[in-house]
Amino acid sequence: MKSIRIIGLLALIFLLAACNQTKETTEETAPATEAATEATTEDTSETEVQVEKGEVDIDALLAEGKPVMLQFSQDGCPPCEQMLPLLLQVQEEYADRVIVRYVDVHANLALAQEYLIRMTPTQIFIDADGAYYEPENLSGVEFVDLEDGTRVVRHVGMIPEDLLRTYLDDLAAGE
């Protein structure tokens, strides 16, 4: 069991290093990235739009009684940075119905390991009762069994806007 954890940790470290190396080769995306980053650092107290760069407490999020979408991401990951504007948009639009959070894998390494995150971005959807959402449309999703035996459905990679909105609408409706 320990060897699986070590292999998982090594795979996560390799993934993070590879994505950071990609950052160096994508300098042409810097202006768009800077604009998205600036948008996340603005005073957002009215809309409660947040990009969580620190630790994320899932229990505290679930205690709010709303469904939760977690997007595991990292700085320097081009697909993560491309998804950031959409993530901020749906976070604002669904704020009263679904909690949408950016989870930085560097700041939340233990959480990333718990969810067996190997690639970023990865989205996980949890209903208001704390159960993992299993969509009818399984396009782009994968099933993963966590160490505690819990089966989680997650989407790996950039999620199309229409599919993301379908999942969020289902979660908001309690389906």
| pLDDT tens-digit readout, 16-58 | 444 444 444 333 333 333 433 333 433 333 334 456 567 888 8
Return the domain boundaries, the chain.
2-173
Of residues 59 and 138, the one with the higher pLDDT is: 59
Q: Which of 105, 131, 108 minimizes the C-alpha distance to 119?
A: 105
Cβ burial, residue 1 (10 Å; 0-12/13-18/19+) = exposed
Question: What average pLDDT does range 127-131 have in this prediction?
Answer: 92
Of residues 34 and 91, the one with the higher pLDDT is: 91
* Percent of the chain scoring above 70 in pLDDT: 69
Query: What confidence category does residue 167 fall into, taking pLDDT thresholds of 50, 70 and 90?
Result: very high
Please report the pLDDT score of residue 26 as a whole number: 37
Cα–Cα distance between 89 and 51 in angstroms, integer? 12
**Is residue 86 predicted with pLDDT exceeding 60?**
yes
Whether domain 2-173 has CATH 3.40.640.10: no
